[in-house]
Structure 1
Amino acid sequence: MVPAVRLLYLSGFLFSFATAVQLHLTAATRKSHSPEAILDNVDDLLYFVDVSLGGNNFSVLVDTGSSDLWVAGNVPGTKNLSVLESLGYAIGNPITGYINTARLDFDGFSVEDQVYLLVSVEDAQKTSFPQGVIGLGPSASSFIRGSLGNSNSADPPLDRIFQQNTTTPSYMTLLLSRNPSTEAISYQSSGQLTIGETIPKLEAVLDAPKLPVLVDQPIHQHWATLLDSNGIIGPDGQIISTTTTIPNPSEGSSEQLHVMFDSGFTVPQVPGYIIDAIYGRIPGASFIEDGTKLNTSLSYSNFWRLPCDYEVNVSFIFSGQEYPVAPLDLNRDMNLQDGDGENICMAFYQTGIASSASTLSSVGALDMILGMAFLRNTYALFNFGDFVDGTTSSVGNPYIQLLSLSNKHQIHLDFVNARLGGKDSTGTQAPLLPSPQSHPDGEPASGSNDGTSGGGSVTGDPSNDNSSSPSRPSVFAAWMSILGVLIFGVC
């Protein structure tokens, strides 16, 4: 995870499931008193949740963009299946470990013989999440499951839970908190993850529009849906025209972008022309090709630097519902100064993937990845429907529901308090420029980066035993060096 490109890929070794250690599919049980799965917020950059394997606790990254569980450390009673998997990063050394099974306890559920990847502590400490990752995506994208013959006994944790608790609704919900120590903002409740139930007082998410999950790229099944046609409201209050770059999309019109929701991505990835429409018209904004020229710790390239006191407002529209994004999620204070002692703030939505032959084969048919800086503004429900391994089409199609949590008045006040010392001067801030500013090369900003992102999403074909894939845009490593964030020590 760094401002450049990070990719998590897995290479599975050929494995004969019939001759391997038998995985016993034992019922997952619900404890009578379910503890809340509270999320630990690391400076609004990563979110972790506790899981227990073999009785030992691990603080793992919450990642809706991948579908496998891996941990590093001691797991009492674990069973090694002698099947080697390798997790490699575009930056840094690859992580290698063996597929194991152990008892999993997670959010009040218990699963016997849950498959997971056990890696060495030394290898894990070279990543941004030294205790592990729990993938919460569809099982079709599970590399471990593919390596073990696609048996339902090799399914990811959530599938196992839903299969064996038929009275539990097959959905999970995710609430990402905002860290009040990062900016001077009003208090928010703790982030939480729930399985089969909603958080009290947020039950209205069940009445939100059901956004169908796109299934036109089954090899790369993600929590993805369609944005409404021209479904972005820019800083001037006007819609931004949108056009998908996916050739011959099987779902949606040419004006509808294919959007993935990924809790493992710190910085949302958005097409360049949209980034320019959002940030390029801001007075005083400048396009920076090399962040280290501003501050040697800012190892980021090709981004918009913004005046820290300029309020930016953007909304996304899904199924006719507007979802405002907090200005503090659009304009990020880096807690760094340039050579003149001026604070450095930057656009926190960046240009990422663009559909092409290579990205379609490695990532899937996507135009945007809306990560943490979007999800913090919503309460999200992910209904697995017939994604759950072993279910039939009669179960119903998977869908996503989003409840907006960003009250426009409150997110404005948060910006005023954090950036303007509590004195609202936004009414007199300079008006937007008539058109986006030029770049040094005379072209619209591409907004690329050169590090890795907060996320563990997996690319490549999970059914291919020797798959590899190109780098995935990512940002966390740079944030780690910039902010000096220390993630939880390994058990």
Structure 2
Amino acid sequence: MLTFNVLLSVFLYANTVRAASSGFRISTSAAGYVATSATSMGDVVSTNDNNMYTVNITLGGEAFIVQLDTGSSDLWLNTTGRNVQFTNTTDLNITESYGKGSASGWLSFADMTIGDFSVPNQAFVNAVEIKDMPSTFDGILGMAFDTAVIYPVVQENWGTEAADALARSPITNLFALDPTTPNFFDVQLARVSPDPNNVAEGVFLISEHDDAFQNITSAPMLPSLTPQHWSLAMDGLTVDGTPFAFNASRVPGVPTGKVAAVLDTGFSLPQMPIAAVNAIYESLPGALYDPEVGWVVPCDAAPTVVFTFGGQDIPVHPLDLTFTQVLAFPSGNFTGCFGSFQALTLDPTEFVGFDLILGDSFLRNVYASYNYGNYQPNTTFDGQGPFVQLLPTTDASTMQAEFVANRTAALALLPPASDPATLAKLDASSSASSPDASSASAAGALDESASSASGSTDSWGKKYGTIALALLGANLAVGLVLLGLTLTMCMRSQSQGAPGRYAPVGARPLQMQQGDEEERAHLRYND
């Protein structure tokens, strides 16, 4: 076993950052993984549809594709079959546990390169046992704070000095090694077009702003509220011009009338209190709600949804409010459309630091700059700490026309679109004709969908709860599709043996969602 003193001596000799800035593109493709040639900004990579965003890193001389995740802190990798040049290894075993799946392995160290930055002796979990995780990436790159698994494990075993020196997350380590490096990174997530060969390129920059968004420095500075997440005070939400009244925030320090929203690139579909989700979809003509899958909507539905942060309105493109799904019934394949914003299916007594989670469906509508301020591990945020600046990227004056053109083109490539009522009848007929067969096939489809869903580690406990609907366009045998089809989303890890801060619970039935009284009763609790 290598001791802290041995590791620290190596660390002090070798750890320097060798770059001033770094930028490269991140992209998503309707066809799945498509690697393209490097650009002047760096590497271009891609992911599945709009559900997972990845970047390239090099660790120990080997190249890896990792999920970019602002909702977590740790780096873990599957190094099987790779000739990784370790700078050190330890016998500290770390388990990243998930609502579905897990990754376990040894705390290890290797030189890491991300863009033009080199970070010697980066701590990571060298995973040797991986359960129920996607095969479309090699690991997860956390981009939050030092509160996940590695730092507290090292702190417990070797002390705070060792944790500060050796166990920082990749991004905070990078900034700590060279205090002259501007300690922020920027992310803009892209959106695919219906063309199956399309690659939509986003932006990931470290220590510099994109040329097209230099005015990000003039955007409101939104302080991060907790050391667990990039959690911001949100002013409000309007749907078709009507403000939605959230309950009082459960997060200490959130101003009256505001709520705490987590910005999380590792969470594909946003989760909000059910009353807020209903406000988006319930007024759409023909929309139906099912307690297990959420809102089934007409494919031409395009509500106007605007979030407000720091007095700045951020419209959400209608393309990010719904998504298409091909469903296989005995009578043939049909296309249905479903709400992207989902009910917050979490036990309110077991999570902290936020009221809602704004994942990729929201983040595709902003250019976001994440700034660490004077952040140090084990310190409270005092107003001079981390903050986020946002710039809207969706043009409210053109988004409706863009939606019509894009959705029309997408549906032209898919089986016939059906309205929610027709889908419900098809489902009922299918279930009545062969309930056992459909149950079995639906369960199999669920298992397949769950194994291919994106996952990412996190400091805030189990997050990969099952939420409504399978994505990625699989032709699912539907017997129970509108009643039992789920999407396993956005896992978040926790240290083995540590209490989870929250766990998935079932969605509330529709009769509990007609008014706000039930919602308020469920949200009035303390950490």
The 1:89/1:391 distance shift into structure 2, 3 A limit, reads closer
Match of 2:237 among 232, 243, 260: 232
Q: Secondary structure at the match of 1:112?
A: strand
Say whether the 8 Å CA contact 1:159–1:389 is kept in structure 2.
Answer: no
Shift of 1:396: 3.2
- After superposition, residues 371-410 of structure 1 pair within 5 angstroms as 371-389=359-377, 396-410=384-398
**What's 2:58 paired with?**
52
**What's 1:208 paired with?**
219
- After superposition, residues 195-344 of structure 1 pair within 5 angstroms as 195-215=206-226, 218=227, 221-228=228-235, 231-234=236-239, 236-246=240-250, 249-289=251-291, 301-336=292-327, 341-344=333-336
Q: Secondary structure at the match of 2:89?
A: strand
Moved more, 378-387 or 350-359: 350-359
Shift of 1:110: 0.3
User: Counterpart of 1:319 in structure 2: which amino acid?
Assistant: G
**What's 2:439 paired with?**
none
Larger relative contact order (C-alpha < 8 A, sep ≥ 6)? Answer: 1
Distance, in Å, in 1 between the alignment partners of 2:383 and 2:311 is: 26
- After superposition, residues 54-453 of structure 1 pair within 5 angstroms as 54-73=60-79, 74-78=82-86, 79-92=88-101, 94-120=102-128, 123=130, 126-127=133-134, 129-139=136-146, 141-149=147-155, 150-181=163-194, 190-215=201-226, 218=227, 221-228=228-235, 231-234=236-239, 236-246=240-250, 249-289=251-291, 301-336=292-327, 341-353=333-345, 356-359=348-351, 364-389=352-377, 396-420=384-408
Distance, in Å, in 2 between the alignment partners of 1:24 and 1:412 is: 54
User: Counterpart of 1:67 in structure 2: which amino acid?
Assistant: S
Say whether the 8 Å CA contact 1:51–1:105 is kept in structure 2.
Answer: yes
Distance, in Å, in 1 between the alignment partners of 2:47 and 2:182 is: 27
Shift of 1:391: 9.6
Q: How many residues are aligned here?
A: 410
Offset from partner CA, 1:438-468 (integer Å, 9 cap, x none): xxxxxxxxxxx998664414245xxxxxxxx
Distance, in Å, in 2 between the alignment partners of 1:311 and 1:45 is: 20
Say whether the 8 Å CA contact 2:74–2:124 is kept in structure 1.
Answer: yes
Offset from partner CA, 1:388-435 (integer Å, 9 cap, x none): 44999999321100110001133222211122459xxxxxxxxxxxxx
Shift of 1:303: 0.8
Q: Secondary structure at the match of 1:250?
A: coil
Offset from partner CA, 1:39-73 (integer Å, 9 cap, x none): 52320010000000011100000000000001112
Unaligned runs of 5+ in 2: 24-40, 156-162, 411-445, 477-527
Say whether the 8 Å CA contact 1:53–1:75 is kept in structure 2.
Answer: no
Say whether the 8 Å CA contact 1:312–1:331 is kept in structure 2.
Answer: no
Shift of 1:90: 2.5
Shift of 1:232: 0.5
Q: Secondary structure at the match of 1:357?
A: coil
**What's 1:7 paired with?**
none
User: Counterpart of 2:139 in structure 1: which amino acid?
Assistant: G
Shift of 1:191: 1.1
**What's 1:473 paired with?**
465
Root-mean-square deviation (CA), in Å? 3.4
Task: Provide the identity percentage.
Answer: 27
Which structure dedicates a bigger proportion of its chain to helix?
2
User: Counterpart of 1:280 in structure 2: which amino acid?
Assistant: E
For normalisation by structure 2, the TM-score amounts to 0.70
The 1:130/1:476 distance shift into structure 2, 3 A limit, reads farther
Q: Secondary structure at the match of 1:201?
A: helix
Distance, in Å, in 2 between the alignment partners of 1:409 and 1:156 is: 41
Say whether the 8 Å CA contact 2:307–2:313 is kept in structure 1.
Answer: yes
2:474 maps to 1:482:
yes
2:16 maps to 1:27:
yes
Say whether the 8 Å CA contact 1:355–1:367 is kept in structure 2.
Answer: no
Offset from partner CA, 1:268-299 (integer Å, 9 cap, x none): 0111000111111111111134xxxxxxxxxx
